[in-house]
Structure 1
Amino acid sequence: MTFSALTILILAVVAAVILVVGLWAYGTANRLDRLHVRSDLAWQSLDAALARRAVVARAVSAATRDRLDESKHLAALADAAERADRDIREDAENAVSVALGSLDSADLPPQLVAELADAEARVLIARRFHNDAVRDTLALRTTRPVRMLHLGGTAPLPSYFEIAERSGAATFGHGGRAVQRTSSRVVLVDERGRVLLLRGHDPTVPEVYFWFTIGGAVESGETLREAASREIKEETGLDVAAEDLKGPMWRRVATFPFNGTLIRSEELFFAHRTQEFEPENGGFTDFERRTVTGHRWCTEDDIRLLAATGEIVYPQDLAELLDEVNIVLARRVEPEVRGIR
């Protein structure tokens, strides 16, 4: 039995298609598995952050025993939230948020106010990590080819976790206490490995300059990635899609005065590589135009030289961290978040 040339060609094409589809399906299934693992780990982190907030809530309850009814109610809500099943956990945690929001932080010891603020900030960050992981998993899991080929297996679909977020002012109260701020920052490097830094100053101390990476505060309703993408556009004019950012890779917490306000900033750092370009500041506010005075693409040696001349660079040890940025950008998997100064 012989085959014609056309038959052989058709069989070859069919075999090639099957091979390509098989390789795609294998790669997609592995990617889905990693996304599910990421979602599970993100939920574990969120669960731990919520558990810590429950502990602090009970401490707040103990500190308000002069108002016995409110104290017992808050403690009961914290206990119920810790024991709640996943399907009713949102309602239980939101009830704790409402109860905490009804308290006057000025009546609490400053140390306890700070602990509560830190606990709520950790919940905020963990929830955003979790929802980012859920979004990425659902985006791939719900595509038609994945559903048709059942590449998701029997793993249940992850779900978002929505919980009311209290403002930093509400958390920290009045009179000189730090205002909580969550920021997305981006280590933007060019093809030569140089990082783009902005130069600015505190308007109350105009003679002292410092250098910092692209980024700013996360706005209401934004994910960390969305905030990072927006800040790149506003501060440089460069369009970078949120999904093209790697990270977050670092977490930095710092308390500092700026423009007469004490700020406790929790910063999450992403990385992105681009070709060298001339940044534009068309997205700056009037305040930013007055306080951000320049920019520069910096090598490790440039950063060390700036520090040697007395101009501070944030984050600290950025020169030593640039090698890590290049490693993060070279890898296909997302990095684990670690603390820096």
Structure 2
Amino acid sequence: MTVWVVVFTAMAVLVLVGIWLVGVANRLDRLHVRTDAAWAALDAALARRAVVARAVSGGIDPLAGDRLRVLADRAEHAARPDREPAENALTRELASVDRRCLPLTLVAELGDAEHRVVIARRVHGDAVRDTLAIRRRRPVRWLKLAGTAPSPQYLEIAEPSLAEDVARPAARVVLLDAAGRVLLFRGHDPARADEHYWFTPGGGVEPGEDLRSAALREVREETGMEFAPDSLTGPVWRRRVAFSFGGRSYDGEEWFYLARVPDGSTVDTSGFTEVEAATIAEHRWWSEPDLRATGDTVYPAQLAELLADLQPWDGTLRAVR
């Protein structure tokens, strides 16, 4: 009887050990898949940064631009053992670029690319750490539970220094009705709910989107009005402004287009985002005399005097406040 107890106990232990080994092997397999996916995402983020860096090289001093272009190409095509020094060299060169001299759309593209590199690097690092922690256990090494899968490696690159101010290119539309009145929304900053101001329809340009497409999309979302691309005139104005919203600082560059609203059109705000619905209280059509007489804050600040220049527009792009 004692012998059978020992036999059954031994068999139970072997079954439990087998279950544990299968569980560890399956977990390792999942971790390797996760690590491979994280590396693919990091590789794609670094490749995108190289593409944006080449675009930046065309907007700076020619000598610095040539150097940046060479480093971007070298980083993009470097073999895995040479990837770290190549990417670090590109990071240092990008850090030396004076971004105030670049178009804000390009600054935003570069900032977005660098943010993606930071996030992808951290996700990849976490995946490598978790995989190596299992692979280094003695039973896993002794029984070769990792199989033939290569041991994952960290990519030791310095993270870009991310700017405190977020670059935000925006496309806005001066919508005029048949009477020459302009459509404005009244909104507020969530961090300062008691300070209201009036502004034109429009908003931030999404990555990969051009200004005209962004203007058409924003007008459609905020007013429900559809315009053909060639119905927008301009850009007629450009406004560079530093501002904060929701406790975050932005370096903004706004490009204004002109559009005339067909008779009978109505404003439909059902397409507002959650933030817009929470921060925009009303809308109304303003005449030039109304704008000159109001004591409310209106952006652009020169809107009253600028409206006359748009009827008709003389083709000059003006910097406004």
CA offsets 1:295-329 (integer angstroms, 9 cap, x no match): 010011211233x2xx210011100000112112x
Q: Report the equivalent of 2:169.
A: 182
Name structure 1 gaps, 5 residues minimum.
Answer: 1-48, 59-73, 82-89, 126-164
Q: Report the equivalent of 1:5.
A: none
Distance change >3 Å, CA 203–CA 336, structure 1 → 2: same
CA contact (8 A) 1:201 1:208 kept: yes
Q: Report the equivalent of 1:136.
A: none
Q: Report the equivalent of 1:336.
A: 316
Q: Report the equivalent of 1:301.
A: 289
Amino acid paired to 1:53? I
Q: Report the equivalent of 1:128.
A: none
Q: Report the equivalent of 1:53.
A: 60
CA offsets 1:36-76 (integer angstroms, 9 cap, x no match): xxxxxxxxxxxxx8654236x84xxxxxxxxxxxxxxx863
Q: Report the equivalent of 1:4.
A: none
Report how far residue 169 of structure 1 moved: 8.0
Q: Report the equivalent of 2:227.
A: 240
Report how far residue 253 of structure 1 moved: 0.5
Distance change >3 Å, CA 231–CA 100, structure 1 → 2: farther
- Matched residue pairs, number? 213
Amino acid paired to 1:289? A
Report how far residue 101 of structure 1 moved: 9.6
Q: Report the equivalent of 2:102.
A: 119
Give the SS at the match of 2:110. coil
CA contact (8 A) 1:104 1:173 kept: no
Q: Report the equivalent of 2:274.
A: 286
**In the alignment, which of 207, 232, 238 is matched to residue 251 of structure 1?**
238
Name structure 2 gaps, 5 residues minimum.
Answer: 1-55, 78-85, 116-159
CA distance in 1, matches of 2:264, 2:251: 33
CA distance in 1, matches of 2:269, 2:235: 24
- Highest Rg: 1 or 2? 2
Amino acid paired to 1:243? D
CA distance in 2, matches of 1:285, 1:244: 25
Mean CA deviation greater in 293-302 or 219-228: 219-228
Q: Report the equivalent of 2:194.
A: 207
Report how far residue 250 of structure 1 moved: 1.0
CA contact (8 A) 1:303 1:318 kept: yes
**In the alignment, which of 106, 110, 116 is matched to residue 166 of structure 1?**
110
Q: Report the equivalent of 1:320.
A: 305
CA distance in 2, matches of 1:169, 1:236: 31
CA distance in 2, matches of 1:185, 1:208: 21
Distance change >3 Å, CA 52–CA 239, structure 1 → 2: closer
Give the SS at the match of 1:313. coil
TM-score, length-scaled by structure 2: 0.57
**In the alignment, which of 64, 67, 81 is matched to residue 76 of structure 1?**
67
TM-score, length-scaled by structure 1: 0.54
Amino acid paired to 1:301? P
CA distance in 2, matches of 1:100, 1:299: 55
Alignment of 1:24-35 (within 5 A): none
Amino acid paired to 1:54? D
User: Percent same amino acid at aligned positions?
Assistant: 36
Q: Report the equivalent of 2:135.
A: none
Amino acid paired to 1:303? L
CA distance in 2, matches of 1:337, 1:121: 17
Distance change >3 Å, CA 326–CA 103, structure 1 → 2: same
Give the SS at the match of 2:309. helix
CA distance in 2, matches of 1:174, 1:77: 18
